[in-house]
Chains A and B, each alone.
Chain A
Amino acid sequence: MTFLSDELLFFIDLYLNLILGYAILIMSSYLILAYLSAKELRSYLKKNSFVDYEVLLTSEFAPKLSLIAPAYNEGFTIEENVKSLLSLNYNNYQVIVVNDGSKDNSMEILIKTYDLELTELEVHSKIETQKIRGLYRSRNAAFKKLIVVDKENGGKADALNAGLNIAEYPYVVCIDVDCILDKDSLLKLAKPFLESYGKRIIATGGVVRIANQCVIKNGRMVEVNVPDRLLSRIQVLEYLRAFLLGRMAWGRLDGLLLISGAFGAFDKEIALLSGGYSTKTVGEDMELVVRMRRYMLENKLPYSVSYIPDPLCWTEAPEDFQIFKKQRSRWMRGTIETLSFHKRMCLNPKYKLLGMISIPYWTLFEFLAPGIEFIGVITTLVFLVLGLLNWHFFFLLVLFVYTFAIFFSVIALYCEERTYHKYPKQADFLKLLLAAFIEPFYFHPLTVYAALVGYKDKIKGTSGWGEMTRKGFTKKS
């Protein structure tokens, strides 16, 4: 009995130390990334205050961009969204709206609003996609930038590939048609493509922020608000942490694995050479970035992926738990699929920082974290039932994690305050601060649960996105 107890005590001790070690590791990595991000952000803002983006507006040397906006059942908002895409501050660009076999009247609305007619545009199908029913251009010269592709349904990746095949310009900007873009977003996204010499910039991405309860006028953000609903409010905080304190650092290290599917620009040639978007994953945005980087590394071509910390794109976050669960489980499936497609890169020195740091980091802290946390909860419950729980240590551990979570959110709020200051209202700031206190008890368990659903869906072999209902933005008349 004494032997068994000793052995048990040893394992409990070992388990507690492992959990503590994992927590310390993850927290340290967050703090290091936050430090690097803050440094990079400061340097970026300093440089940016002397940048005159207007020079790109008037220059014929500005990179030529093809905007690809896949649309599926967007009939309610497509007219206004396309109008907003056509009125961005940029000259050398075209807009390719890909109607991915919508079941609603999206196509009819587009034809009527933009006076579209079928065109004989030559398509060089470098990537196989679902059948294209027709290509449309406007008879009205005011909409000469617009091309509409009507195709059979094949999912977002397939629609983006169709856009890639049709794009006439050397850089493609892939966006979600329902996102609200900053009017200068293309100017900022295009600049890095001009900046590098000797290194090819294969992709650039910007910060995505939450637009729930913000006021939109004529497709532009006119008033930034913090949502009242807790689920979306906490996502504001979560996005601030992820984009301001996480991706900025990965950008600095040139180890960025993900450029948000909502808004990112790519070198078309490299995207096509890498095979375009994969239709075998629901995380096509992350997978494409990893594949493009892998292509460059395997072919020993000097390259870089650039990241812009300016809030360039505003998107609607789920306000309902069911939709939130679908979104997050899909994100988890996308992560698992990408990591599994490129598993040979993990800890492979051939892939430099990407293989040695980025991919192992994502594996350990993004893919495995919810699972480890779940095991932790189950083990704690077992300890509780068996009366083995060291309450004192348990409370200290919970408090340790809780205080860190709040501390990290306060860092994000401080960074936001010192940089973009998008939430100037006192009430909004307090709402976000309060959210930081509530998040670990309310939001975090939901994200872990949704990620576990993602594990389950992956094991079951579930594919596809599932229906993503959006509420729509508050519009100013």
Chain B
Amino acid sequence: MEHLWELYANGTWNEPFLIVSICSFVTASVILYLLLIGSRNSHIKNERLRTEYGILIDKLLFTVVFEDLPFSDIIQNENYKKLKDNRFFREFTTESVINLHKNYNGVYARKLEQFYKDSGLKNDSLKKLKSLKWDIRCKGITELAEMNVHEVFDTILTNSKARNKTLQITAINACIKLEGTKGIAHLTEHPYPIDDWTQVNIIAAFKKHDVGDTQGIENLLESKNTTVVALGLKLIKELKLTQKVPFVEQLATQAPNTFLKYEAQSVLQQLTD
């Protein structure tokens, strides 16, 4: 330190500074270049593995869905035995199961859910749900909701109250998928404004998962949070819930502000036309 100060004090710092900087830039460039090469190689390797595993997983899931083989027989597959503990393979299998599950209903979907449970992939998702990282938790929530794991509803509900908006939206969507209106009941007490993007996502989740029982949506209209009331109105309008007209009428007469009053009147007009 004293040496550095001496260099500065007697005005001869420029050259050593330049030399050190040049060396640092060169070293940093080389390190970044090596990291870059490493990243490209890992990209290429992952692509190769995805192709390789993809064939194997497709065959495996075909057996699960279309052949009535018990899980104990499926795991006799040599390739599966070899790879079942490989992290990348498990991740990719989960991804494939989830994607396939989106396309099926009824028996096929239930078979996939059973495989998800038997193969331990469900446990992987449950572990993700406990992660401290919000993005991993989001992944776990998406997987568990898609596979209709109702037992985690309460945990997901807790996550839907998080301040992180992405986690909040993912969790609310999952709650709606799992338990319909019950998944948004807590919003009546929501302390923060819900932005339009979150509202659009909630409405889309109701439409996507075809939530039949809309009992309780009217409670949103009683919230002290005006954005929650606005969400309730939008839901009633988008889902064309004519049975909620009396609640909307009540809001139109007792709305806390002109914006909500106008919105309620507009919804009423649309529902009664």
Q: Which residues of A contact B (CB under 8 A)?
A: 13, 16-17, 20, 46-47, 49-52, 54-56, 58-62, 191, 194-198, 392-393, 396-397, 399-400, 403-404, 406-407, 410-411, 413-414, 417-418, 421, 424, 426, 429, 433
Contact = CB atoms under 8 A, between A and B. Distances in A.
Given A16-B14, A197-B227, A396-B18, A403 B199 contact: no
B40 interface: yes
Contacts of A52: 201, 204
Interface in B128-172: 135, 138, 142, 165-166, 169-170
12 contacts: A13-B11, A16-B14, A50-B142, A52-B201, A55-B201, A58-B207, A195-B165, A197-B195, A393-B15, A397-B18, A417-B43, A433-B33
A410 B33 contact: yes
B43 A396 contact: no
A453 B200 CA distance: 50
Nearest to A416: B36
Nearest to B207: A58
Contacts of B15: 392-393, 396
Contacts, number: 101
B114 interface: no
B241 interface: no
B203 interface: yes
B138 A195 contact: no
Contacts of A49: 135
Given A52-B201, A429-B40, A411 B32 contact: yes
A263 to B, nearest CB: 21
B43 A424 contact: yes
Interface string B201-232: 10110010000000000000000000100000
B203 A61 contact: yes
Contacts of B234: 61
Given A397-B18, A414-B36, 9 more contacts: A47-B166, A61-B199, A197-B193, A197-B196, A403-B21, A403-B26, A407-B32, A421-B43, A424-B43
Interface in B36-52: 36, 39-40, 43
A306 to B, nearest CB: 12
A194 B200 CA distance: 9
Return the 4 tightest CB-CB contacts between A and B, nearest first. Answer: A55-B204, A403-B25, A194-B196, A194-B197
Nearest to A13: B11
A400 B22 contact: yes
A99 B208 CA distance: 42
A13 B238 CA distance: 73
A56 B138 CA distance: 20
Given A50-B142, A396-B18, A55 B200 contact: yes
Contact of B195 (A194, A393, A399, A417): A194
B19 interface: yes
A421 B207 CA distance: 34
A195 B35 CA distance: 35
B83 interface: no
Contacts of A56: 200
B242 interface: no
